[in-house]
A and B are shown apart, each in its own frame.
Chain A
Amino acid sequence: MYKKAIISSIVSLLLIAGLLSFKIPDAPNAGLKLPTGFTANMIADNIGFARHLAVAPNGLIYVKLLKTKNGKGIIELKQNADGIAEVINRFGDYGGTGIYIKDGYLYASSNEDIFRYKLDAKNEVISPDQPEVIVKGLLNRREHDSKSIVLDNAGNIYVNIGAYSNSCQEEDRQPGSMGRAGCPILDSAGGIWQFRADKPDQGYANGIRYATGLRNVVGLDWNQQLDQLFVMMHGRDQLHDLFPALYTTQQNALLPAECLYALKKGDDCGWPYIYYDQLLHKKILAPEYGGDGKKEGGKNAKDPDVAFPGHLAPNGLLFYTGTMFPEKYRNGAFIAFHGSWNRAPEPQAGYFVVFQPYKNGKPDGKWEVFADGFSGSAQKTASGRADHRPCGLAQGPDGALYVSDDTKGAIYKITYNK
């Protein structure tokens, strides 16, 4: 009895101590590791599954949520002087990924449709409940359903329609199942489609399949220096699971590459027939189409500008045009890697933002990790149980870099001070 009382008071003391010590001071740079001179602040948190985001010329931030929260799928944030962004509006009764601001309009996508909202002089949405439907009825068969969007300078909008398949097998993701001949998925998915940005109610019949052979693109951007579309493709999954005799689990973890492509109209990036092997620097025939891990393929398929290690899941792409960051960042590419799940049983990887330098429109040197630490610890990275996962990227009017996290719903702002 007496013993019990002592034990329970010790336990409660420990509990109280635990509660008191819980409020740790904010970690510097919101827990991120950055190059010298850069600072990160978490300006918002817990807003929902924050996919892509767009920053207006006056600093207002619009965030697209993967799933609606309290019935709303777009969050508008206003940045206050104290460095906190407060939610000032919620609208849009649909979940999704894409959001982009261009010429006085806010564009946003569900997993089937693209909408636009006219902005007023203060970059506020005029009729949040009456968007114009620009494109409707895009294919959504759940797998690879994000419809990421970007606009060019000639009145066109580009949208990714992901393939509802891993590698166009007869039985999706079934070990040993072979690829479908003349993969029929490519007719309506597995590519980037182009539509007019100002014409209502467009569908497949009004669009152009701008580029094909792209399994799934989530991160894409219009490169202003080159006036050209760039996309990051998610490479295929499960080489070992599906073809254990050809690939080890180690190879499965690293292969194939996640590729950055500089697209021109009519390009074919080769999915599902080939994948890019970043170790061999070659386009390799997919095992579903007779490959053995070494046979090359895809003579007419495009080569990537940059090939990153497998399964890191590039969900955000941004060519930096600002002047806040040092000269070396100008016109280079930031990529938000959402982090892997497909590397199991090997450790998972990613959950960081990398920077790929560009010079005169070509990759210039090796990519480097720019912002790391989203996951919370090396252990959380390895297990895949990350606290935060970077997803969207946007540039502010002053050149600050914004990163959204679609796990906890944080928004980070990264700035540079000489």
Chain B
Amino acid sequence: MKSTIIFLSMLAFISVSVFAQTVHKPVTKPATVSPVVNGKKIYLQYCLSCHQADGGGVQNMNPPLIGTQYVLGDKARLIKIVLKGFNDAVEINGQTYTNAMPAFNYLKDKDIADVLSYIRSHFGNKASAVKPAEVSLIRGPIVKTPNKKKYTVRSKNT
């Protein structure tokens, strides 16, 4: 009985992974999707595992995105956090968090603008939307490295 279950779960596991490998390929959506729909999609794909479905974060590890000065405050600072990642041991709503947030500089301006607009208007937050132009302004001198679908920031001392 036990071994059948193990066998079945192994089978399921293998078939799922084969399926996942052959069928799925990250597709970049055209830039016409509505900001709300796209913002949510980006949140689920890139932010959810750390900041959680309710935006509440994980105790001592990943901070909440609810009512924090970073989410609600200066947009330039907020955009930089997502473009460059964040590992500064700052206090967020009176607590510190130990995990490291990676840079999301490989996301497009629209994706970053939409996900930030999304977090600024969900989880009880009420702040203005972020525009793709604002992201590209902050991104500044950025170059797309050849062969890799990845961006690097050219010598910025911040």
Measured between beta carbons, the chain A residues less than 8 angstroms from B49 are 237-238, 241, 341-342, 344
Q: Total A-B pairs in contact (CB under 8 Å)?
A: 87
Residues of B within 8 A of A279 (CB): 6, 9-10, 13
Query: Which of B20, B44, B45, B58 is in CB contact (< 8 Å) with A248?
Result: B20
Measured as residues with beta carbon below 8 angstroms from the partner, the interface class of chain A is 35 or more
Q: Report which of B21, B46, B50 forms a contact with A245, defined as CB distance below 8 A.
A: B21
B-binding residues in A (CB < 8 A): 49, 66-67, 142-145, 164, 171-176, 237-238, 241, 244-248, 250-251, 279-280, 292-294, 341-342, 344-345, 383-385, 389, 406-407
Quick one: closest B residue to A386, CB to CB?
A: B59
A sample of 11 inter-chain contacts (CB < 8 A) reads A49-B60, A142-B100, A171-B103, A173-B102, A246-B20, A247-B20, A251-B13, A251-B16, A294-B14, A341-B52, A385-B56
Taking the complex as formed, is B24 at the interface, i.e. its CB lies under 8 A from any CB of chain A? yes
- Structural contact, A247 and B52, CB atoms closer than 8 A: no
Q: In this assembly, does B89 line the interface, its C-beta being within 8 Å of a C-beta of chain A?
A: yes
User: What is B's interface to A at a CB cutoff of 8 Å?
Assistant: 6, 9-10, 13-14, 16-17, 20-21, 24-26, 44-46, 48-50, 52-54, 56, 58-62, 87, 89, 96, 98-103, 106, 149
Query: Contacts A174-B103, A292-B21, A384-B58 known; A345 to B53 CB distance under 8 Å?
Result: yes
Nearest CB of A to B98, in Å: 5
- The distance in angstroms between the C-alpha atoms of A186 and B53, with both chains bound, is 34
Q: Is the CB of A142 within 8 A of B98?
A: yes
- How far, in angstroms, from A176 to B9 measured CA to CA in the complex? 27
Cβ contact within 8 Å between A344 and B21: no
A246's partner among B21, B46, B52, B99 (CB-CB below 8 A) is: B21
Q: A142-B89, A344-B52 are in contact. Are A245 and B26 (CB under 8 A)?
A: yes
Q: How far apart are B78's CB and chain A's nearest CB, in angstroms? A: 19
Is A341 a contact partner of B61 (Cβ separation < 8 A)?
yes
Smallest CB–CB gap between B122 and chain A, Å? 16
Nearest Cβ distance between residue A339 and chain B, in whole angstroms? Answer: 10
A280 x B10 contact (CB < 8 A)? yes
Interchain nearest-CB distance for A15 vs B (Å): 23
Q: How far is the CA of A248 from the CA of B20 in the complex (A)?
A: 7
CB neighbours of A237 from chain B (8 A): 49
Name the CB-closest residue of B to A252.
B49
Closest Cβ neighbor of B62 among chain A residues: A341
Max chain A C-beta neighbours (<10 A), residue from B17, B44, B89? B17
Whole-angstrom CA separation of A349 from B52 in the bound complex: 14
| B9-A251 in contact (CB<8A) | no
* CB-based nearest B residue for A293: B17
Specify which chain B residues have a CB less than 8 angstroms from the CB of A241 in the assembled complex. 45-46, 49
